[in-house]
């Protein structure tokens, strides 16, 4: 994995279209890149490192063609080297393939191909595909049939795009890994919905070609596409499949930096708008009602959340919302759920995934469906695999998020989960106390963004040995998320804890070089207990940063204070979170880290 782009029908602009597409996919994370062009001529150029290095290599190599594929690789099989970069070729150099996913039977296939005389140049699982195609071509198969037969031998997850020398066509197939087709503009500049006009694009994600078209077709598992002067999509049985053309609503300008130094900072500052989009049309404050049409008339008696990473922290938050409403609920790491699923009973299973393509979460949802559970996904991506496979979908409406470290989508997930509980299981009394806080949330968050002193706090502690984050109830998932954000983009050690757990072991690690960020809202028993935890770490000489609404006396014991407005405790979690996002960003910036391209990480993890 990680990013695929392909196009036909762009003429002399094919190469630049591919490279632009790869640049638009940089946010997904990668460690090498490459392109292949075919048609009248055939050639491949690929390098380890960033796309700037690919551009430099292309400047020394003459590539042209009317059909092409490109790839940004995030290493799974073999380190990031020129040889392991995609596209991969066969022995004759007449086939080029790019691939996302993992081919589980690649070693068996590779052994058979090696015994048959094929020579491999990389350590990747992907390289078996062009050699399989080569064998089929050698036996007399036409290019499309050769690709089909090769794909039929694969086990595992894949999104594959292939070109063959002398053929002005691009072939693509998917299974458990996303692929979307872009339908280009006709001569009049309107969207070609009759599928008889080009150009056409194929990509792992829409931003790769959004500059050129907003018309898209989502491939399903087992489907195969041929893109040339027309577009043909067929099923696993080879029969044509009618596909609906959908329109992407967001503007390509939304994926730019808009003057910010980093996508992450831009997206942190976009959160008030993202929250308004999430809440718009769903909340009637006068009637004290919430209506989320896409989830139907759900009335869950129990809920199992499945998610990974940041989305798992949202799942923990959502689980607490339902528990507080009297509905048994539990959050599971999707990778653990899929390998050893707990009893389902009549529980609703909710998969939280920003991209709608997270492999572990999809696997958990499929396991749940196989066992008869009703499923719902909370996602940001219309048309994603999760939305197509689940019974219901709750969209967070955050708009495109380019930064690898999730920010505005986490806020959107928490807001959407509030809507979910309010619309399904909570009574009018609870709704009347929460809805006004949700209404005020975008403005409260803008106030935090406008007045935060996180930059000064980050500057003082950027070189600390370690960072601890503590919180209780709704603030506990935020503490976990704050630590994750700091780890992701600063590469510094950070840990999040339920505040009461510090004294059960982690307190041994506390020194004057481990700042503790304590999340304290309100002035009830929970706040007072957290203040007690602040005193515990202060007694061990740890500097304390209180993230608080000022209702408790937490500031009295803190070295620094990051303020948030007073609000409902559920909404306060989103406000303390934005302060921690800013801390993580400014620590990483002080340390000179590549904030939008953290090492070893990818935006959409489509392998298990």
Render pLDDT for 13-67 as a digit per residue (tens, 0 to 9): 999 999 998 888 876 667 788 999 998 889 999 988 888 889 899 988 888 888 9
Judge if 317 and 402 occupy the same domain. yes
Question: Which of 210, 229, 248 lies at the terminal end of a domain, its last residue?
Answer: 248
Summarize the confidence of residues 204-220 as an average pLDDT. 88
Q: Do 261 and 242 belong to one domain?
A: no
Examine the domain organization and report whether 195 and 312 are in the same domain.
no
Question: Given pLDDT bands bounded at 50, 70 and 90, which one contains residue 91?
Answer: very high
Kindly tell me if the per-residue pLDDT of 153 is higher than 60: yes
What is the pLDDT averaged over residues 399-426?
Answer: 92
Q: Which residues contact 407 (CB under 8 A, 6 or more apart)?
A: 264, 267, 268, 271, 401, 485, 581
Domain C-terminal end among 225, 248, 271 = 248
Is there a single domain that holds both residue 496 and residue 552? Answer: yes
Residues 522, 596 within the same domain: yes
320: pLDDT confidence band, cut at 50, 70 and 90? very high
Known catalytic membership, residue 2? yes
Looking at residue 28, what is its pLDDT? 64
Question: Is the pLDDT assigned to residue 223 strictly greater than 80?
Answer: yes
Asked whether residue 83 carries a pLDDT value surpassing 60, the answer given is: yes
Cα 289 to Cα 59: distance, rounded to the nearest angstrom: 60
Position 539 pLDDT exceeds 80: no
User: Looking at residues 480-489, what average pLDDT do you find?
Assistant: 96
CATH for 223: 3.60.20.10
Q: Distance (Å, rounded) from C-alpha 474 to C-alpha 479? A: 9
pLDDT confidence tier of residue 605, bands split at 50, 70 and 90:
low
Counted domains in the chain: 3
List pLDDT tens digits, range 249-305.
766 666 667 778 888 999 999 999 999 999 988 988 777 888 887 787 888 999 999
603 assigned to active site: yes
pTM: 0.75
Q: Classify strands 348-353 and 329-333 as parallel, antiparallel or unpaired.
A: unpaired
Section 390-410 average pLDDT = 91
User: Can you read off the two tokens belonging to residue 362?
Assistant: 């999809």
Selected residue with higher pLDDT from 9 and 507: 9
Domain shared by 492 and 356, yes or no: no
Give the Cα separation of 334 and 318 in Å (integer): 15
Same domain, 324 and 421: yes
In sequence order, what DSSP letters do the residues of 437-499 get, joined into one string?
Answer: HHHHHHHHHHHHHHH--HHHHHHHHTT-S-EEEEE-TTHHHHHHHHHHHHHHHH---EEEEEG
Same domain, 237 and 353: no
Half-sphere exposure (Cβ direction) of 225: Cα atoms closer than 13 Å? 33
Q: What are phi and psi for residue 546, nearest 5 degrees?
A: -90, 125
Q: What is the pLDDT of residue 214?
A: 87
Decide if 82 contacts 61 (C-beta within 8 A).
Answer: no
Active-site entry in 46, 266, 487, 603:
603
Crossing angle of helices 428-451 and 408-424, rounded to 10°: 170
Distance CA 160, CA 156 (A): 12
**Cβ 567 vs Cβ 577: under 8 Å:** no
Predicted pLDDT at 51: 85
Instruction: Record the tokens describing residue 294, joined without a space.
Output: 């896409």
Question: Per residue in 578-597, pLDDT tens?
Answer: 999 999 999 999 999 999 88
> What pLDDT, on the 0 to 100 scale, is given for residue 291?
86
Model pLDDT for residues 166-181, shown as the tens digit of each residue: 999 999 999 888 899 9
Does the pLDDT at position 327 exceed 50? yes
C-alpha separations of 562 from 30, 126, 337, 465, 547 in Å: 35, 49, 37, 21, 5
Residue percentage of the chain with pLDDT more than 70? 94
Which pLDDT score is estimated for 254?
Answer: 66
In this predicted structure, the answer to whether residue 337 has a pLDDT above a threshold of 50 is yes
**The token pair that represents 266 in the structure block:** 């831009």
- CA dihedral (548, 550, 554, 560) positive or negative: positive
**299 and 358 share one domain:** yes
pLDDT in tens, 342-385: 888 889 999 999 989 888 999 999 999 999 999 999 999 888 88
Residues 430 and 569 in one domain: no
Contact 130, 95 (CB under 8 A): yes
- The residue segments making up the domain with residue 243 are 2-248
- 2, 7, 45, 390: which is the annotated catalytic residue? 2
Q: What is the CATH number of the domain that holds 530?
A: 3.40.50.10490
Same domain, 214 and 346: no
- Average pLDDT of the residues in 422-433: 85
Of the residues 388, 417, 446, the one at which a domain ends: 446
- Is the same domain home to 181 and 40? yes
């Amino acid at each position: 994995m990680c990013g695929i782009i392909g196009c036909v029908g762009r003429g002399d602009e094919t190469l630049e279209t591919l490279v632009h597409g790869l640049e638009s996919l940089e946010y997904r994370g990668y460690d090498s890149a490459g392109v292949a062009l075919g048609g009248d001529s055939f050639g491949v150029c690929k390098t380890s490192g960033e796309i700037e290095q690919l551009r430099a290599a292309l400047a020394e190599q003459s590539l042209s063609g009317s059909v092409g594929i490109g790839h940004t690789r995030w290493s799974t099989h073999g380190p990031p080297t020129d040889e392991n970069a995609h596209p991969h070729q066969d022995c004759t150099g007449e086939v080029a393939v790019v691939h996302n996913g993992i081919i589980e039977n690649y070693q068996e296939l590779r052994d058979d191909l090696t015994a048959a005389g094929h020579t491999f140049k990389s350590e990747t699982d992907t390289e078996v595909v062009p050699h399989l195609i080569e064998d089929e071509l050698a036996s007399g198969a036409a290019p499309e049939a050769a690709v089909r037969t090769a794909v039929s031998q694969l086990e595992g997850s894949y999104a594959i795009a292939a070109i063959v020398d002398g053929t002005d066509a691009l072939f693509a197939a998917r299974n458990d890994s996303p692929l979307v087709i872009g339908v280009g503009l006709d001569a009049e500049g309107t969207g070609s919905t009759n599928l008889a006009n080009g150009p056409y694009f194929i990509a792992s994600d829409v931003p790769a070609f959004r500059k050129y078209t907003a018309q898209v077709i989502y491939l399903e598992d087992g489907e195969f596409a041929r893109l040339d002067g027309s577009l043909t999509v067929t099923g696993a049985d080879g029969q044509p499949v009618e596909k609906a053309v959908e329109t992407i609503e967001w503007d390509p300008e939304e994926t730019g930096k808009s003057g910010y130094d980093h996508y992450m900072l831009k997206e942190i500052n976009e959160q008030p708008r993202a929250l308004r989009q999430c809440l718009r049309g769903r909340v009637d404050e006068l009637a004290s009602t919430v209506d989320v049409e896409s989830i139907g008339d759900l009335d869950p008696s129990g809920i199992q959340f499945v998610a990974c990473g940041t989305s798992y922290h949202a799942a923990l938050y959502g689980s607490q919302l339902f528990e507080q409403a009297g509905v048994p609920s539990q959050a599971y790491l999707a990778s653990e759920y899929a390998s050893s699923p707990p009893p389902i009973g009549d529980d609703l299973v909710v998969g939280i995934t920003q991209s709608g393509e997270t492999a572990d979460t999809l696997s958990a949802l499929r396991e749940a469906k196989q066992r008869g559970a009703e499923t719902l996904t909370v996602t940001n991506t219309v048309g994603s695999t999760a939305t197509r496979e689940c019974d219901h979908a709750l969209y967070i409406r955050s708009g495109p998020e380019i930064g690898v470290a999730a920010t505005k989508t986490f806020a959107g997930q928490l807001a959407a989960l509030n809507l979910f509980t309010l619309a399904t299981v909570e009574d009018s009394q609870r709704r009347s106390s929460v809805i006004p806080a949700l209404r005020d949330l975008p403005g409260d968050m803008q106030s935090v963004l406008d007045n935060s002193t996180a930059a000064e706090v980050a500057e003082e502690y950027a070189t600390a040995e370690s960072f601890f984050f503590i919180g209780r109830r709704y603030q506990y998932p935020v503490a976990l998320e704050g630590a994750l954000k700091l780890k992701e983009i600063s590469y510094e050690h950070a840990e999040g804890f339920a505040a009461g757990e510090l004294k059960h072991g982690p307190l041994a690690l506390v020194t004057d070089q481990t700042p503790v960020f304590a999340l304290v809202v309100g002035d009830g028993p929970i706040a007072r207990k957290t203040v007690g935890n602040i005193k515990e770490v202060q007694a061990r000489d740890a500097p304390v940063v209180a993230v608080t609404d000022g209702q408790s006396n937490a500031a009295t014991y803190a070295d620094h204070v990051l303020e948030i407005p007073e609000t409902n405790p559920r909404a306060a979690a989103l406000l303390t979170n934005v302060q921690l996002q800013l801390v993580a960003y400014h620590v990483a910036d002080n340390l000179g880290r590549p904030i939008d391209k953290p090492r070893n990480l990818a935006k959409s993890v489509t392998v298990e």
